[in-house]
Chains A and B, each alone.
Chain A
C-alpha cells in the first residue's frame, strides 16, 4: 500500500523496459535545443512573472547576495532562494512533486546524479544558453542540453592554524587516521550534503569503506552541511575538517580566519555543481533569464567575486590568488555510479557513524 515512495532505485528498476531503452532513445532522439540568449522578449516575460524560485545547495549568505545582484540587474524580478543541502534539496523536490506541488523553477545541486534522476523522470527542460554553447568545456555540459555546470567545488581537508602545530599539518586523508586526531575532527553528512555524498563516493573508491570505519572511531563532530565544517574550524570548535566546501574555507581565510586548506595527496574530490531548469516551473521565463544570467560572463564573474568559487566559463578567470584548477589533483566524480549507489552509501555511512 505505501506505493508513493519514490526512491532512486525505483526510478531505475521500477519500469525496466523504459529504463533499458532510455539511454539509447535519448541518444538518438534528443539533441540539445538551439542556444538562446537574453532577449527583450525574455526580460519582458520574466518581469511579468515577477519572481523565480531558486533551490540551491550553495552557501546561504553567498546565494542570497548573488540573488540580490540578479535583482539589481533586472528590477521587478524577485529571487526566492531556497537553500539546503544537495540531498535535502533532492528529497524536498521529490516530496513536493509526489504531492503535485510544482514550486521549483531552477535548481543548483551539488550531486550531479540528481540531474540524471530528474532527467529520467522527465522533469527537466533542456535549455542551452549562448555562453554555455560557446564557452563551456565539453565535460561541463550535457549533450542533450538539460544541465551544465554552474560552479566547481572541491571537498577538501582544512585545519585551524592556531590548533594544529606545523609538524602535525595533515597532507592526506590517511594522515587524519592518527589517533592524535581523536575528538579534533569535524565532518559533514552525505545524507544532507550533495558535495559530501560525492566526496564520500570518491573517497570510498580510492580508499575503501575501511577508511571511514577508522575515522568513525575518532569521535568526529558530525555536522550536516558541507558548508559547516569550514565555519566550525574557523571558530576553533575543531582543529581539522575531513571534508567541507573549499570556497567557504578560502573565503574565511580571505577574511583573516586562522584556517588553511589542504588538497589531499590522494586527490581532492571534485563536485561539478549543475544548474537545471524544471519543465513544470511556475515561472519559466524568469527561470530562463536567471539561468542565462548565471551562465553569462557577467553572472559567472559576479559569482567568482562573491564566493571565490571556480567557474566553468572559459573567459572568466578564477579569483586572484586561487591555485590554478589544472594544478589540483582530482578525485573524479561518477554521476552514473552515484545514481545507483547513493542510497546504499547513505545507509552504509549511517551504520558506520551511527547517525
Chain B
C-alpha cells in the first residue's frame, strides 16, 4: 500500500516547476521503489535457496535439485520447448511482419488486427480451446478427421497432450511478440535507405541482404529471445497440456513444489538457474545488439514504399489467414461452440443450442461477479501506475539526464529475468510477514503485475523515446523553450500513441497473467485467470468457454475505449509508436 502511494506521489511529472531540476530526486525515488519491488522478492528467494531451516548457509537444496531425475527431466523438456518456440515464432512472425509492413498484400490491417486478437488471448485459454480441438479422442479436429476418413475410434491425427502440442500452443500465443517487433522495425526503416541502394544499382535481393535484413535483424533476434523467455516462463499452457501428458516443465514443477506440503526452499533453488540463464541471454542479446542501435525517426524521412508482390499477394494473404486459423479462428470457434453446447466437444446446432452454461456462469456461479471486478480493477490500476512508472524511468534513461540512469534501466529490466511464478513466490515470502502483510489483499497482486509488466512497458516506452530523436527536443530548446516545455509540447504528443499502447499492453498482460496470481490469490482476491484455471482442473469446460469469451469481449471494449481517448496522434494498431 505504502509503496504504491509513494509511486503515485513521488512520480508526478515535474511540470510548472521551471528552474528547479527535479530529475535527481525523482530518479532516487524511482530507484528506491524499484529496489523494493524487485530486490525484496529476489532476496527472499535467494535466502530460501541458500539457507537451511536453522538459517545456516547450505548448498543442500541445489544438490537435491541436480541429482534428482524429477528435476532433470523438466529441465530438458523446458529447454526443448523454449528453443522450439523461439525458432518457430521467428519462422512464422518474421515473414508475416514483413508482408504486413512492407508488401502490397491486401487486408494488411486485418492481419494486424487478427495478430492483436491472438495477442490478447490468454495462452491458458488458448490451451484449453486447443484441448477442445485436438484432444486425441474427443477433439473436434480429430472427430472431423475420423468422420472424413472413416478411421476407427481410437485413431487420431492430433494429440495436444504432448511435447509437440505444448510447443504448438505456446507458439500460437507467443509469435505476436516477434511480429510486433519485426513489423515495427520495418515500419521505421526509412524508405530512402532502400531507395538509395536501388539507385546505386543493387537488385532487390541485394537490397534485402545488405539493407533490410541487417536493419531488421536486431528486432528478429530480440523477438526470438522474447519468445524463448516467454516459453521458458509460461505456466498455464504447460500446466494444462503437459501435466495430463505426464511430464513437467520447470514452471509447473516449481508450482507443484508449492502444493502441500510446500517446499519453498527447493522451488527457490529451482528458480535460480532459470534466473541466471535469463540474465545470461539478456546480456548476450545486448552484446549482439549493442553496436546496432540507431534512431531512425528523427526529422523527415519518406515512408517506405510497399514491395509489389503481383499475383503472389493473394497467396500471401491466404498464408497469413491460414496461420491465424491456429491462434484465433479455430480456438474461438471451439470456445463459442462449447459455450452454447451441453457437451463441450459436440458441434452445436439450433436444436441442441443451450443457454445452460451462460446461465450457470452468470447466475449460479457465486464467484463470477467479484472475480470480474477484481480482474478489471487490477488491470486498470496496474496499467495506469505501471505506465506512469515506466514513462518516468524511460525518460530519465533515454535522455541520460541524471547520474546512475543505467542502474535505473537495469532495475526496470531486471524483472524480465523472473518467471512470474518465481516472482509470485518471492512476493509471497516477502509480503506475508511484517512490516508489510499484503498477502490476502489486492495490493500484492498489484505489485506483482506492475513488477512483471514493467520491463516490457519500459522497453516499449524507451524505444518510443529513442525513436523520437533528441534533435526534435533540441530544436525546441534552441527556439527558447525550457526542457519541460519541450517535453510537454514536443515529446509528449509524439509519445501519446506509445503511452496508450503501453497502457493497453499492460492491461491485456494483466488479464492474461496466471503464473504469479496462481501463487498469490486468496479466495477473496481471486482473478479471472485463476478462476478459469480452477474450473479447468475440475473439467468445467462450459463455464470456462463463457468466462473466456466474456473476458475477451471486455478486454476488447477496454482497448477500444483507451484508443478513443481524444488527442493528437494516430490510431494504435500493433505499434509501439506512430
Q: Chain A interface (Cβ within 8 Å of chain B)? A: 1-5, 7-9, 53, 55, 59-61, 64-65, 67-68, 78-85, 87-88, 90-92, 94-96, 98-101, 103-104, 162-163, 183-184, 191-192, 219-225, 227-228, 231-232, 234-239, 343, 346, 350-351, 353-355
Contacts and interface: CB of A to CB of B under 8 A. Distances in A.
A83 B538 contact: yes
A236 B540 CA distance: 15
B535 A355 contact: no
A228 B522 contact: no
Interface in B487-523: 522-523
A355 B248 contact: yes
A163 B136 CA distance: 14
B329 interface: no
Interface in B1-59: 47-48, 51-55
A96 B440 CA distance: 8
Given A1-B55, A65-B364, A79-B366, A228 B534 contact: no
A343 to B, nearest CB: 5
Given A84-B538, A221-B161, 19 more contacts: A1-B52, A1-B54, A5-B261, A8-B261, A60-B535, A78-B366, A80-B366, A82-B523, A96-B522, A162-B153, A192-B259, A222-B246, A223-B537, A223-B539, A224-B243, A228-B539, A237-B137, A346-B260, A354-B247
B244 interface: yes
B523 A343 contact: no
Closest 6 CB pairs of A and B: A91-B260, A7-B261, A228-B539, A237-B138, A225-B538, A231-B539
Given A64-B365, A99-B437, A184-B154, A1 B47 contact: yes
Given A78-B366, A91-B262, A184-B154, A355 B522 contact: no
Contacts of A96: 440, 522-523
A78 B370 CA distance: 13
Given A64-B364, A163-B154, A7 B138 contact: no
B126 interface: no
B376 to A, nearest CB: 19
B119 interface: no
A91 B259 contact: yes
Interface residues of B, number: 56
Contact of B260 (A3, A60, A90, A354): A90
B233 interface: no
Contacts of A64: 360, 364-366
Contacts of B365: 60, 64
B197 interface: no
A96 B439 CA distance: 9
Contact of B261 (A9, A59, A85, A232): A9
Given A61-B360, A91-B262, A103-B524, A221 B244 contact: yes
A83 B523 CA distance: 10
A191 to B, nearest CB: 5
B547 to A, nearest CB: 12
A80 B367 contact: yes
B366 A5 contact: no
B523 A53 contact: yes
Nearest to A63: B366
Nearest to B73: A354
A67 B246 contact: no
A134 B273 CA distance: 60
10 contacts: A2-B53, A8-B261, A80-B366, A84-B537, A92-B522, A96-B523, A99-B432, A227-B538, A235-B345, A355-B243
A3 B539 contact: no
Given A60-B538, A84-B537, A225-B539, A4 B366 contact: no
A83 B543 CA distance: 14
Contacts of B247: 354-355
B424 to A, nearest CB: 12
Given A225-B539, A355-B248, A84 B534 contact: yes
A286 to B, nearest CB: 14
A305 B261 CA distance: 36
Contacts of B539: 223, 225, 227-228, 231-232
A192 B506 CA distance: 32
Contacts of B540: 60-61
A162 B138 CA distance: 13
A237 B136 CA distance: 7
B53 A3 contact: yes
A2 B366 contact: no
Contact of B248 (A84, A234, A236, A354): A354
B70 interface: yes
Most B C-beta atoms less than 10 A away, residue of A8, A227, A237, A355: A355
B70 A351 contact: yes
B256 to A, nearest CB: 7
A95 to B, nearest CB: 8
- Which of the listed residues B48, B243, B247, B260 has the most CB atoms from chain A within 10 Å of its own CB? B260
A231 B342 CA distance: 12
A87 B256 CA distance: 13
A83 B262 contact: no
B264 interface: yes
Contacts of B543: 60
